[in-house]
Amino acid sequence: MIIGTIEFVELEKKLQKTNSCYLDILAPDLGKAYVIAISRDHCPSCKQQKPRLDKLATKVVQKHGDRVVFTRIHIRYTEGSSEESLRSKDVFRHYFYPTNLILVKTRDRGVFEYYRNAAPEMNELGRNIEVALETAVMLAKDTN
């Protein structure tokens, strides 16, 4: 599978157990760009984005291999039960679904958010992945 999926409740458990920040869990290695898609059940925009993101991920991974990691964070949601969605909004500080992030790890400052957008066009996301990967590779080589 090109895009790995993490259930939000599982990520929550790991965050509580390790007392870590979600950034550190989702982007553990130097020299890589991490593309995160936060999506929710019963979200029309998420359903529209899914095949487009799958296509982009296939193209990017063919070009860059494991230097770009795609992860989908799945939020469960039903009418009358929005608690998980509300908790995810606290953790990720987002409002809309789908929200896409690109994360890059540094040697001295941990992980930073290179990019964030709600329901971006795939060509925009693709361009930002390329630049984020260049940045990640440069930061991995930097010994200062």
Per-residue pLDDT of the chain (144 residues; tens, 9 = 90+): 699 999 999 999 999 999 989 999 999 999 999 999 999 999 999 999 999 999 999 999 999 999 999 999 999 998 888 999 999 999 999 999 999 999 999 999 999 999 999 999 999 999 999 999 999 999 998 655
CB contact at 8 A, 70 and 102: no
Helix (H) or strand (E) holding 5: strand 3-7
The number of beta carbons lying within 10 Å of the beta carbon of residue 42 is 11
- Predicted pLDDT of residue 135: 96
pLDDT value of position 144: 57
Check residue 93 and give its pLDDT.
94
15, burial (CB in 10 Å: exposed 0-12, middle 13-18, buried 19+) = middle
Tell me the domain boundaries of the chain: 3-141
Residue 63 in tokens: 């070009």
Q: What tokens does 98 get?
A: 């789908």
> What is the pLDDT at residue 72?
98
Write the burial class of residue 99 (CB in 10 Å: 0-12 exposed, 13-18 middle, 19+ buried). buried
Residues in the chain: 144
Contact call for residues 136 and 31 (beta carbons, < 8 A)? yes
> pLDDT value at position 81?
84
As given in the structure block, the two tokens for residue 101 are 């992030």
Which pLDDT score, from 0 to 100, does residue 3 have? 96
* Distance from C-alpha of 30 to C-alpha of 101, rounded to nearest angstrom: 17
Can you tell me the distance from the alpha carbon of 71 to that of 5, in angstroms, rounded to the nearest whole number? 6
Q: What is the CATH number of domain 3-141?
A: 3.40.30.10
